[in-house]
Each structure stands twice: as C-alpha cells, then as structure tokens.
C-alpha cells in the first residue's frame, strides 16, 4: 500500500448499490452516471464492473469522458453525453458511438448540421433553470426533432433530496405533460434521490449517480455500501501540552494535554480546508477529531481516545464504512459529491 493517501475502490459495493437502486423501481431500467471520473472512483473501472453486472446505459458530462467509457464497456451499451454536442467534439460522437443529450435549440442545430446517425436524448428544464429545453417550446422541439432518432426524453429534479419539497410534485407534473408529447419514447426523470420518491418518478429509466458510490441520504430501508475506503498514514504522534496551539493561524488552543497525530493527507489531496476543527478520522473504530487548520499535505488529529492504535504507519480512515461519506461532508459544510470528485491525483486508487 502507498505511503500516502489511498482509496480502495470497492467495485462489488458499487455493483451492489446499483442492484439495490434497481430493486426500488423494478419496472424501470437502471442506468449509471459515471461522469467526473466515476465520481472520483475511476470511470473506466466502474463502468466495466457495472456493464459486466448488466448495466446497459451510462451517462457522462463530456464527450471525452464518453470515449473513455466506451473503451471500457465495448460497443453495445448506450452512452449519453449530458452536456450536449459541440462542433469541437463531434468526432468523439462519431468514433465512439455516443449519444448527445440536446439541451438547447442551438445544440439541436449543431447535431442536425453534423448529419450523424446516432440517436439523441431531449432534456427539458422543468424547474432547475440549469440545462434543458424550455417546456413551453415542447411542441416546436417535437417538430424540429421529427427527423432525428429521439431515444429518450429527460429532465432533472432539483429538490429530490428533500422528499416533501413541493418542487418535486411540480416537476413531476410538468415532466409528465412533456412526456405525453412523446408517447412512444422512453422517459427519464429520477436521479439518485429521485429513485427514493416512488414509482411515479421512475418512468422508464432512472439515472443514479452519487448513490452508486454510497452517497446521498436514502431512507432507512435502503442499505448502500461505501464505494471506497479512503485512508492515509500517520507520520508522527506526540503530546501537545495544555495552552499550546495547533496549526496555521493558531485556530486551536489545547485546554489540556492531548495526544496528537500528524497524518499525510491535506487539501492538495482533496480534504477540504473547511473541515479544519470540524472533520474527523477513524482509527481502530475510534472517531478522532481534526484539530487546527488542514494544511496542503498534512492534517492533525486528536487521537487521545485512540492511543492504543495511534502510531506512525497506522492508517486513518476518512471515508468508508467507519467514516460515512455524507457525515464527513456535513462536518466540512459541503456535499459527498465534492469530497469524492475532489480526490487528488496523489490519492492512489486500488481496485478490488
């Protein structure tokens, strides 16, 4: 194992999560979002494992990501590019058999002028105001796309992680109306959190992302496994004396003698500086708080409660079965998405 931070990627766990999510909506196909390097886990490795397990529809953000996934999964699976086509990357669509998601009339024009034969997805904005065709243009878009092979109609939920939020029902109603304009074309609305909202939201295809990797806030009945275990080694252990301060800016003053461990993991590796004095690591099943500011390459933990396990070379878990991704993200005032997609190149990925 590396002398620096490592991420043991549990491919079997990701596959198990995909199956768990699929079981929630058995009448729908379950796809997989593998953009941003498979949410930091490795897009090629994740896609290959899921394809072997039976996943046949993948989503990336950029066409270049789609090319990598195509190399991993072979020629049969469907790969959509969520950000849509651009003149600069049309060759990727042709060479790798990718399908664009059309988000704007301009993208529709780009694709038509390209004269490529691949099917397309049409994405409509039902309340996110991010990417998507305007819902009031659905009639015009249906006419304008009549000569294209439209394989899916899509939208994206803005508030699915809050099940009782009224926006969910509003978007469901809006999207149902849009889908009715394309009665013979499969529809897709649910992201990870949308998979938990019930069958009305599932339509023909769900698009889980973060949940595949053990993130999101599923209901108690849904057991998701961590997609990776992130650890880093202790470099030194020493006693900090009462009244001394820890780290840059002296933001932590010790109120009593404490056993401190310096760990080879910092914000250059993806541990947000916002976790200073609030995040944690786990040693020997003991949760140890981060004390002082996180540095570029180093982080200090109070390991007083884990004295029996804290020694140079011992590894500290920052994400995994003992250090829940979303709990760690909450402690850093961020999201699980940011933690795993932000893991730096010094974090060695080990696949198992």
Which one of the listed residues 35, 48, 123, 252 is annotated catalytic? 35
| pLDDT < 50 positions in the chain | none
Instruction: Mark whether 159 and 194 lie in a shared domain.
Output: yes
Instruction: Mark whether 209 and 232 lie in a shared domain.
Output: no
Instruction: Mark whether 75 and 192 lie in a shared domain.
Output: yes
Q: What is the DSSP string of 243-300?
A: T-EESGGG-EE-SS-EEEEEES--TTTT--GGGTTT-EEEETTEEEEB-S---SS-EE
User: Phi and psi at residue 250, in whole multiples of 5°?
Assistant: 50, 45
Residue 127 within any structural domain of the chain: yes
Say whether 248 is catalytic: yes
> What gap in Å lies between CA 50 and CA 73, rounded to an integer?
9
Instruction: Mark whether 196 and 236 lie in a shared domain.
Output: no
Q: At what angle do helices 63-73 and 43-53 cross, to 10 degrees?
A: 50
Please report which helix (H) or strand (E) contains residue 101, including its range: strand 99-102
Instruction: Mark whether 186 and 276 lie in a shared domain.
Output: no
Residue 13 within any structural domain of the chain: no
Instruction: Mark whether 168 and 299 lie in a shared domain.
Output: no
Residue 3 within any structural domain of the chain: no
- Listed in sequence order, the residues at least 6 apart from 270 whose beta carbon sits closer than 8 Å to its beta carbon are 40, 339, 342, 343, 344, 347
Bridge partner residues of 181 (DSSP): none
CATH code for the domain in which residue 279 is found: 2.40.37.10
Residue 323 within any structural domain of the chain: yes
Q: Give the CA-trace dihedral at 309, 314, 318, 323, to 10 degrees.
A: -40
Instruction: Mark whether 124 and 208 lie in a shared domain.
Output: yes
Instruction: Mark whether 163 and 297 lie in a shared domain.
Output: no
> What gap in Å lies between CA 232 and CA 17, rounded to an integer?
25
Distances (CA, A) of 37 to 61, 142, 217: 10, 33, 22
Task: State the sign of the Cα–Cα–Cα–Cα dihedral 55, 59, 60, 66.
Answer: positive
Instruction: Mark whether 184 and 296 lie in a shared domain.
Output: no
Which one of the listed residues 93, 196, 201, 248 is annotated catalytic? 248
Q: What is the DSSP string of 192-253?
A: TGGGGS-GGGTTTEE---GGGGT-S---TT--PPPSEEEEEEEEEEEEEPTT-EESGGG-EE
Q: pLDDT tens, 234-261?
A: 999 999 999 999 999 999 999 999 999 9
> What gap in Å lies between CA 20 and CA 345, rounded to an integer?
30
Say whether 35 is catalytic: yes
Q: pLDDT tens, 14-55?
A: 999 999 999 999 999 999 999 999 999 999 999 999 999 999
Distances (CA, A) of 21 to 216, 257, 341: 12, 47, 21
Residue 16 within any structural domain of the chain: no
- The confidence score (pLDDT) of residue 1 equals 65
CATH code for the domain in which residue 205 is found: 3.20.20.10
- The confidence score (pLDDT) of residue 2 equals 75
Instruction: Mark whether 36 and 98 lie in a shared domain.
Output: yes
Closest to 234 in 3D by CA, of 146, 328, 311, 139: 311
Domain of residue 56 covers 31-213
> What gap in Å lies between CA 160 and CA 51, rounded to an integer?
26
Residue 17 within any structural domain of the chain: no
Residues 330, 336, 340, CA angle at the centre, nearest 5°? 135
Domain end: 213, 245, 262, which one? 213
Residue 181 within any structural domain of the chain: yes
**Domain total in the chain:** 2
Residue 20 within any structural domain of the chain: no
């Amino acid at each position: 194992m590396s002398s620096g931070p490592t991420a043991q990627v549990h491919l079997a766990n990701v596959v198990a999560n995909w199956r768990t999510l699929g079981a929630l909506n058995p009448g729908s196909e379950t796809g997989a979002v593998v953009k941003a390097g498979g949410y930091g886990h490795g897009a090629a490795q994740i896609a290959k494992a899921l394809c072997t397990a039976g996943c046949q529809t993948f989503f990336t953000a950029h066409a270049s990501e789609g090319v990598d996934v195509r190399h991993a999964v072979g020629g049969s699976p469907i790969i959509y590019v969520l950000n849509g086509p651009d003149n600069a990357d049309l060759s990727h669509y042709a060479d790798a058999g990718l399908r664009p998601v059309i988000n704007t009339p301009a993208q529709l024009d780009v694709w038509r002028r390209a004269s490529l034969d691949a099917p397309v997805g049409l994405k409509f904005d039902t309340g996110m105001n991010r990417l998507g065709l305007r819902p009031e243009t659905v009639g015009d878009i249906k006419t304008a796309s009549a000569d294209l092979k439209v394989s899916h109609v899509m939208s994206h939920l803005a508030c699915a992680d809050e099940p009782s939020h009224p926006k969910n029902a509003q978007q469901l109603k809006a999207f149902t109306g849009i889908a009715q304009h394309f009665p013979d074309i499969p529809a897709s609305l649910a992201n990870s959190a949308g998979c938990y909202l019930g069958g009305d939201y599932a339509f023909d295809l769900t698009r889980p992302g973060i949940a595949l990797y053990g993130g999101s806030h599923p209901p108690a009945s849904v057991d998701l496994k961590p997609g990776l275990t992130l650890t880093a080694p202790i470099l030194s252990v020493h006693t900090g004396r009462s009244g001394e301060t820890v780290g840059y800016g002296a933001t932590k003053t010790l109120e009593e003698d404490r056993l401190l461990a310096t760990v080879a993991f910092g914000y250059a590796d993806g541990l947000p500086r916002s976790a200073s004095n609030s995040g944690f690591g786990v040693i020997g099943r003991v949760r140890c708080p981060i004390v002082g500011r996180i540095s570029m390459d180093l982080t200090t933990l109070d390991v007083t409660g884990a004295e029996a396990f804290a020694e140079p070379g011992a590894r500290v878990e920052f994400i995994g079965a003992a250090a829940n991704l979303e709990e760690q993200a909450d402690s850093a005032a961020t999201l699980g998405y940011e933690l795993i997609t932000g893991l730096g190149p010094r974090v060695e990925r080990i696949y198992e």
